[in-house]
Amino acid sequence: MDQATIDALRTLSIPDQMHLIDGQHVAAQSGALIDVFSPIDGTRLTGIAAGTKADADRAVAAARRTFEAGTWAKQPPLNARRC
């Protein structure tokens, strides 16, 4: 990667990142974010959802429902050439 590409990436706006629970991108139940800062110059790059026990419980419950339904188990293997 050349310097011009690196410099261009530094100016990209990165939206705040949410949890992926039950196939949906969702904010932390508290709405709190953890700021992520650039180690180069200290500017804020983005925020990530600050998960709590309640968020983890919600994710585990969704994973359990999917596991019990067999949704993932019934999926065919991914063809590596399609990736």
Encode pLDDT of 29-67 as tens digits: 999 999 999 888 899 999 999 999 999 999 999 999 988
pLDDT at position 80: 57
Residue 19 burial (CB count, 10 A): 19
pTM strictly above 0.75: no
pLDDT at position 81: 61
Cα–Cα distance for residue pair 2/80, rounded to 1 Å = 29
Closest C-alpha among 26, 24, 5, 7 to residue 16: 26
Report the chain's mean pLDDT, rounded to a whole number: 89
